[in-house]
Amino acid sequence: MEDIEQTCASLRAQIAATEAQLAGLKRELQIAERAAFDSQSQETRSGSGSSKDDMKEKVRQWPLLAEEYRRYGRQMIVPQLGLRGQLKLRSAKVLIVGAGGLGCPAAVYLAGAGVGTLGLVDGDTVESSNLHRQVLHRSRNVGKLKVDSAIGYLRELNPHPTYIAHREHLAPDAAADVFKDYDLVLDCTDNPATRYLISDTAVLLGKPLVSASALRTEGQLMVLNNPPRPVGDKTGGPCYRCVFPRPPPANTVTSCADGGILGPVVGTMGVLQALEAIKVITADETQAPVPPSLHILSAYSTPLFRSIKLRSRRANCAVCSAEATVNLDTVRSGSTDYVFFCGSADPEMLLRPEERVTPLEYRELHPPTGGTKEGKQPTMIDVREKVQFDICNLENSINIPISTILASSNGSGDAKLPPWVPAELATGESTDPIYVVCRMGNDSQIVVKKLKELGLDREGQRKVVDIQGGFRSWREQIDPEWPNY
């Protein structure tokens, strides 16, 4: 067995070395082709010692390499692009923040279109749960940095652009230094704090911004700070703060891991980001910019898309108005605190240690044989959404989705408890314990507090606790075969 593992490891190392060598050769070929082109152009301009026939050939100066004409020809014959637009793409420098579900398709189409320099910012590594939507990554790259995985694919797709890897999460103290060398920024991230940081930095450095988001079956797209006028200039395009002056409550922000995402939905939004980026780069400067809009995709609605016109810059915007309080110094120094501004929902601090039990502690108190050290029969409430409950659940558990709990009131008239409380818990004087479980151990804490507020702990006589770490910890401590979705 050890010999087989060593052989596999050796083969993987050889493949990695070969891929690195191939990437190096491609870069050398690209440099050589450009050097040959520059040399030919210089000889053509000098024209010394040339016959008339030679001069006819040398005067015919083509701005692109022959291979580039073949590669980009189909898009160059589109009237809105043309040779002029292709040359703009080749000289453009685009930064993509996030190499995930949005960044991958955006990068594919920008690299394919011939953007001259493409930078990617991401500090995460590839996970198998990414692969259904993050189309640049492969199963063999699980555990590899996303930017390296992405750039490896992009170089195979198109060796002409220059690819720059920023192997870290975007931080306020470094954002301006990362942005300064690029012409256009794409926000392909998934959390509010980073979105505000990206928008603020783009405005302060005069960079147009293409921003998108996606969750479950819906997506949103905006082109911001376009045109990128100086701070205080009312003719400039609105920024992210103009559209969303206040962030959403922290406890309402849902990630793809918690809320889910359909691959084609986030892929569509990433492709549209690439399209908008190409439009911004190749725009005719003599024409007025397109009025800003918020484009919304709803995959299960008819029509699929709708657009909402956006207002111009807000007169009291904190970053792009004449009354701005955010500047590069406040961003770099941290005095503009994005985490504080967006709030931090820290569910780990909601309950005291005695209000939580680990899966192992629960199993010791209530073994699967049916006996119980507490002498009482527990009630297990699973607060995941029904679609998750249907994937896998504990026997005899009760499903009460947290969305139902948070959306309901305490009832009306003489009803003391809301309708979602099970009858066996709402009536009688039972003190049998109540356990609450969710996927990650976050929502369960909210529900424990809610149950206690409703008095279901019988003034401390009944144990109401959550399963710490949820089903993620259940899988680690109790059942390794529990589905890891």
Whether the full predicted model's pTM is greater than 0.85, yes or no, is: no
Q: Model confidence over 418-450: pLDDT tens digits?
A: 999 998 888 777 889 999 999 999 999 999 999
pLDDT at 346 (0 to 100): 55
Q: What band does 38 get if pLDDT is binned at 50, 70 and 90?
A: low
pLDDT at 225 (0 to 100): 98
Q: What is the DSSP letter of 62?
A: -
State what percent of residues in the chain have pLDDT above 90.
74
Q: Model confidence over 133-144: pLDDT tens digits?
A: 999 999 999 999
pLDDT at 347 (0 to 100): 53
pLDDT at 10 (0 to 100): 72
* Three-state DSSP class for residue 207: coil
Q: In what order do the strands lie in the sheet with 464-467?
A: 356-357, 464-467, 434-437, 379-382, 398-399
Taking every pair of Cα atoms in the chain, the longest distance, rounded to a whole number of angstroms, is: 107
| Angle, helices 82-91/66-76, rounded to nearest 10 degrees | 120
Rounded to whole angstroms, the Cα distance separating 296 from 52 reads 60
Q: Is 133 annotated as belonging to a binding site?
A: yes
Q: Report whether 90 contacts 72 (CB < 8 A).
A: no
Q: Is 191 annotated as belonging to a binding site?
A: yes
pLDDT at 253 (0 to 100): 79
Model confidence at 39: pLDDT above 60: no
Known active-site residue 438: yes
Cβ neighbours around 181 below 10 Å, total: 11
Count of helices and strands (H, E) across the chain:
19, 13
What average pLDDT score do residues 221-232 get? 96
Torsion of CA 328, 270, 314, 337, to 10 degrees: -40
- CATH of 66-342 among 3.40.50.410, 3.40.50.1400, 3.50.50.60, 3.40.50.720: 3.40.50.720
Which residues are CB-contacts of 92 (< 8 A; sequence separation ≥ 6)? 115, 116, 117, 183, 184, 281
Q: Report whether 359 contacts 467 (CB < 8 A).
A: yes
Q: Model confidence over 441-482: pLDDT tens digits?
A: 999 999 999 999 999 998 889 999 999 999 999 999 999 999
Rounded to whole angstroms, the Cα distance separating 87 from 63 reads 8
Rounded to whole angstroms, the Cα distance separating 399 from 388 reads 10
Half-sphere exposure of 234 (CA within 13 A, CB side): 4
pLDDT at 51 (0 to 100): 46
Q: Is 239 annotated as belonging to a binding site?
A: yes
Please, where in the chain does CATH 3.40.250.10 lie?
Answer: 353-478
pLDDT at 62 (0 to 100): 87
Q: Is 129 annotated as belonging to a binding site?
A: yes
Model confidence at 131: pLDDT above 60: yes
Q: What band does 147 get if pLDDT is binned at 50, 70 and 90?
A: very high
What are the CA-CA distances from residue 372 to residues 12, 303, 366, 477 (Å)? 51, 55, 5, 19
Model confidence at 236: pLDDT above 80: yes
Please, where in the chain does CATH 3.40.50.720 lie?
Answer: 66-342
Q: Is 148 annotated as belonging to a binding site?
A: no
Rounded to whole angstroms, the Cα distance separating 472 from 233 reads 50
pLDDT at 401 (0 to 100): 96
| CA nearest neighbour of 96 among 72, 117, 114, 125 | 117
State what percent of residues in the chain have pLDDT above 70.
86
Q: Is 320 annotated as belonging to a binding site?
A: yes
In 98-238, beta strands by DSSP E: 117-121, 162-166, 184-187, 209-215, 218-224
Catalytic one among 104, 188, 342, 438? 438
Q: Does domain 353-478 have CATH number 3.90.1640.30?
A: no
Provide the β-strand partners of residue 165.
Answer: 120
Rounded to whole angstroms, the Cα distance separating 351 from 191 reads 25
What average pLDDT score do residues 352-359 get? 95
| CA nearest neighbour of 350 among 434, 258, 418, 443 | 443
- Which of 69-107 are b and which e, b meaning 16 or more Cβ less than 10 Å from the residue's Cβ? eebbeebbeeeebeeebbbbbbebbbbbbbbbbbbbbbb
Q: Model confidence over 153-211: pLDDT tens digits?
A: 999 999 999 999 999 999 999 999 999 999 999 999 999 999 999 999 999 999 999 99
Q: Is 242 annotated as belonging to a binding site?
A: yes
Q: Is 122 annotated as belonging to a binding site?
A: yes
Which of 2-16, 150-164, 370-384 has the weakest average pLDDT? 2-16
Model confidence at 294: pLDDT above 80: yes
Which of 38-47, 254-263, 279-288, 294-303 has the weakest average pLDDT? 38-47
What average pLDDT score do residues 367-395 get? 87
Q: Is 130 annotated as belonging to a binding site?
A: yes
Catalytic one among 8, 256, 342, 392? 256
* Amino acid type, 336: T
SS (H, E, C) 421-445: CCHHHHCCCCCCCEEEECCCCCHHH
Model confidence at 332: pLDDT above 70: yes
Q: Model confidence over 17-36: pLDDT tens digits?
A: 677 676 666 666 656 655 55
- Which pair of tokens denotes residue 332? 């770099």
